Amino acid sequence: MMLSLQSVAQIWISNSAPKESSLKIAVSGMHKISALRGERGSAKVIQWLRSGSSVEESLFSQADSSASIFLFDPQEQRVAVETKADMNSSAFVFKNTEEGYYNLFYLTEKVCNDTLMVSCASREILNHSCRNGHAKELKYIPYKTFGKDIPMQIVRERNKGDDLHYFVTSGERLTFRALHDGKPIEGVKMTLVSQKGWKNVSYTNLEGVASFELIQDYFTNWNMFDVKKVYNYLLIAEKTLPISGIRNQKSFTQTKYVTTYSEAYLPAKTNYMSLVWGLIVFLVTVIISFIVVYVYRHKRNVFKKHNYEYTSKY
């Protein structure tokens, strides 16, 4: 039974395709979103369902027939999403025609023993292409809440400069808010897992907020450094509330909410900017000290006081 609980508990939505995917996938654009290739019309975004708490090792899962799948466009309108089978796993396919964040949710409810397990996998998918043209100054895009349909939602508080070009980077402080029926909830256990498996746990405060520093976990030789290396983090939020009731003719005395939120991140700019600055400081030091040594030697002229012409003037 515990195994079953675990597998239900850690369902999340991934932008990465299974290694041997039967579908033609293209990962492109500013935000590196996976899309189906070779289909006419506007591009179709594809996201996969995975199970597990490790970003790299989680298994690709099949969608439960009883699950509810919600997709909201940037105007907060519910739009259609297609479920596609891909190598024994399920993928969600949809058209992203509007500019802004699409919110995708996969929701399951099961009664195990006397507990109602409410598992929700969520992902915000940003749709933007500069080719479509946009204003010089981009607008800050606030997060959207869907308390009416999603019992426990996790939203990422927007950072400074969080616009259509924004990409989370390592080293940033990420703040998440847990909302139960659209209202902040205290004491939610939040676990942040980085691409390489680093974990950190925090609990939400009265305002439903918990924050983490997204540590650097991309390390490579300088000459191999990829500034556009996309990693994903996974946030798992858990909270048990004394909410009782009956679901599918099974009664329960408490409700356990497990919501996951995943997002891509890039290496911090400081990774390469620190090397640029290092080189600048070094070169400036070399140039200035060379000039200082040259000027000092030129002015000093150790033989001047013994020079007849020099001394004869005084």
Partner 1 sequence: MNILQNIKYKADNANVSRLRFWIQLLTFILIAYGGYLFIHIGSQVPTFACPYNQGSPGTCYLIAMQHGLHLKWSELVSYRGLAFFTGFLSFIGFFIVFNKAWCGFICPLGTLQDWITKLRYRIGIRFSRYDSLSFQKLKKVKYVLLILLIAIPLGMSNSFFGLPPINHDMQAPFCQVCPGRTIMPLASADTSQFFIDFTNKTTLVMSTLGMLITGLFFVGAFAKKRFFCFFCPMSALQFMFSRIGILRLTKNGSKCTKCGNCYRVCDVGILGIAEDITSKNIVKDDCMMCFKCVEACPEDDCLDVKVFNAKIFSSTQEGFFKRYNQQDKLVKKNE
Binding site for partner 1 (CB under 8 A): 221-222, 270, 273-275, 277-279, 281-286, 289-290, 293, 297
Smallest distance, Å, CB 231 to partner 1? 19
Smallest distance, Å, CB 299 to partner 1? 14
Amino acid at 132: N
Measured from the CB atom, is 99 or 172 closer to partner 1? 172
Measured from the CB atom, is 156 or 229 closer to partner 1? 229
Measured from the CB atom, is 22 or 274 closer to partner 1? 274
Q: Which residue has the tokens 């996976």?
A: 34
Measured from the CB atom, is 39 or 213 closer to partner 1? 213
Alpha-carbon span 264 to 123, nearest angstrom: 10
Smallest distance, Å, CB 280 to partner 1? 8
Parallel, antiparallel or unpaired: strands 152-156 and 173-180:
antiparallel
DSSP 3-state of 62: coil
Distance of CA 54 to the CA centre of its chain: 14
Smallest distance, Å, CB 274 to partner 1? 4
Smallest distance, Å, CB 288 to partner 1? 8
Give the helix/strand (H/E) hosting 36: strand 33-36
Q: 3-state SS of the chain: helix, strand, coil percent to 5?
A: 15, 40, 40
Measured from the CB atom, is 113 or 274 closer to partner 1? 274
> Which residues have C-beta within 8 Å of that of residue 225, sequence separation ≥ 6?
267, 271, 272
Smallest distance, Å, CB 275 to partner 1? 5
Alpha-carbon span 188 to 190, nearest angstrom: 6
DSSP 3-state of 266: strand
Distance of CA 143 to the CA centre of its chain: 14
Q: What is the DSSP letter of 131?
A: G
Measured from the CB atom, is 59 or 279 closer to partner 1? 279
Smallest distance, Å, CB 291 to partner 1? 10
**Are the CB atoms for 156 and 175 separated by under 8 Å?**
yes
Measured from the CB atom, is 201 or 293 closer to partner 1? 293
Residue 192 phi/psi, 5-degree rounding, is: -100, 125
Smallest distance, Å, CB 88 to partner 1? 42
**Are the CB atoms for 219 and 194 separated by under 8 Å?**
no
Measured from the CB atom, is 296 or 308 closer to partner 1? 296
DSSP 3-state of 26: strand
What token pair was written down for 293?
């040594």
Measured from the CB atom, is 223 or 248 closer to partner 1? 223
Smallest distance, Å, CB 287 to partner 1? 9
What token pair was written down for 158?
């927007």
